[in-house]
Structure 1
Amino acid sequence: MSRYVFWATVGAFSWDWIVSFPDEVQLVQKSGIRLPIVTYMLSRLGTLSYIFTAAWFEALPVHGSCQTVLLIACISYLFATPGTAALFFFRVRAVYDRSKIVTIIFGFLWLATLGAAIAFIFLVEADHIGTTDYCIETHVAPGVSAPVIINTCSATLIFFAISWRLARNNSIGDTWGSYLRSFYRGDGLPRFSKTLLQSGQAYYLATVGLNIATMIMILLPSVPPVYQAFLSIPNVAFENAMACRVFRAIHLGTIRPTTSSHNFQAEPRMPQYYEDASRRAARSQLYDNSRPTPLTVTVTTECLREDTSKKSSYISD
C-alpha cells in the first residue's frame, strides 16, 4: 500500500506545480530574481527531487547501490525542508520590519533546521532486500526526527509571532479580549493583514497534524524501519505545496482593500486602465471646492495609505 501512497504523492505534487506554473512565471516577472524567489524555486525543485527519489527507493527496483539512491534523497531533502522553512523566515522578518532580535531568533531556528537536515544524511543506512533489487532502510537512527521536530517548533513560533504582531498593531481595542478576537478571527484587521493572518493559520493547522504523525512514526520503536518513513514523503510534499501557495498569494498582490475603513473585502482585480480612471475620479471628488468634502473620505485615505505602507513592508523581503 505504501508504494501507492508514494506515487500518488509524486503525481499530486507534480500536478500542483503544473497548475501553479503560470503564477510562478508571473511571480518572477513581477519580483525579479531575488533571494526569496531563488529560495522558492530551490525548495520546489528540492521537494520534487526528494519525493521522486524517495518513492523510487521505496517502490522500484534499484540495480545499483541502495545507499547511493538514499543519499540522493537525503541531499534533496537538504533543499526541500530548509527551503520551505526559509520562506516563512523571510515572512516573519518582513512583518517585524527586519528587526535584529527577530532575525537572530528565527535565523537561529532556521540554521538549526538546516543543521538537522545535514545530519540526516549520516543517520540512515540502506541495503537490498535479500537477493532482490528492492531496497530497505536497515538502520534509522532516532535523530532523523530532529528536522521534523525543529521545523514544527519553528513554524509554530513563526505562526504565533506573526499573528500576535498583526493582532497587536491592528486591534480594534486595547484589551486582551480585543487582541484575542483579532488573533483568532481577524476582527479590526485591514484586508491584507487579515489575509496574512488567515493564510498563516491555514498553513499551520494543515501541516502541524501531519508533522506530529510523522514524528510519532519515526520515534515509536515498535514501528518497523520500512514504515518509519511512511509519512515523510507526503509530509514534505504537502508542507511545501502549502507554503508556496501562501507565498504566491502574498507576493502576487491579489488582495487589495476596499474603500471602507472597517469593512475590508476581497475585490477582483480591474484592468490597469480602469484603476487609473478610478483614481482620477477619486482625486477630482476630493479636491472639488464646489461642494463640501465628507470627513469619511479623509479617514479612508489615511486607512488606505496605512494599509498600503504595511503591505509594501510585508512583501518587500
Structure 2
Amino acid sequence: MAESMDYNLDMIKYLRMGSCFLFSGLTLIIWDLLENIPDDVRLFTIHPIQLPSIIYLLSRISTLCYFTYNQATGGRGNISYWTCLSLLAFQRVTNLTLLYLRVHALYRSNQIVQAIFSILGLGVIGSCFLHPMISGLCTGVFEIGIAVAIIVYLKLGWLQGVSQKVWKPFKFRPEAPITDKILQDSLGYLLLAIVLKVPQLMLLGSSPGINQVWEGDTLFLDAAIMCIVSTKIFRDLKLGHWTINSPPRTAVFQAPQALSETSTGG
C-alpha cells in the first residue's frame, strides 16, 4: 500500500513537471505568433546575446533534474550534493552577470532612474525561484542591492578603464525608445511573474499532504515561470535594446588605399 502511494506521488511529480514545461513551451510559441516575431529573432534561433540566458536556463534544468532524481530515489541518488551546490552557484553568478550587463548599458545611456526600476523588476524575477517565495524575494532584494552597488561603482568611476575594455563589444543603441519602454517592460515583467505565481500559491494551499512528502512541490512551476519570463526579457533585449558592434575592419583596410590615391594624384 505504501509503495503504491509513493508511486502515485512520483507520478504526480512527473506529470506536474511535464505539464509545466509544456505550458511554458506553448506560451512561448503563442507569443511568437501574436507578436509576429521575424524568423531571424525567433526563440529557436541562437544569437550571441541569448547565450547567457541559454546557459542560465540549462543550469536551472540541470538542477531541476537533480532534485527530481534525488526525490524519486528517496535521497539515494548517486549525484553528489556538491554537484547541486555548484549548479546553484553557477546560476547566481550568471544572473548577476546579466544584471551587470543591463545596468551598465543603462548607465552608459544616462538612464539611471530607468536602470533602478529595471533592476527592481529583473532582480525579483531573476531571483532563485527554486526556493519558497519568501526566500526568493530575499534573494531578489540581495541582487537589487548588488545592482545598486554596481551603479555606485560606475558613478564613482572605479576601474573605469578596465570596465570599458571588458564591455567594449557591447554598446547601447541610443535610437531605441528607452525613456518609457524600459520602465514599462520592467513593470510588465514583474506583473507577469506575479500572475504566474498565483497558481503556485493556490497549489500550496490545496495540497498540504503532498508538500509534506515532497518539499519541492512547486519546483517545476517555478521553472516554467523562469523559462517564460527570462525568454521574454532576452527576446525584447534582442529586438531593440542591445546591439553588438563589429570592429570597423573595412575602414582600416581602406585607409592605405585612400592614402595611395592621394599621393599618386598629387
Q: What's the TM-score, normalizing by structure 1?
A: 0.41
Which structure is higher in RCO with an 8 Å CA cutoff and minimum separation 6?
2
More helix by share: 2
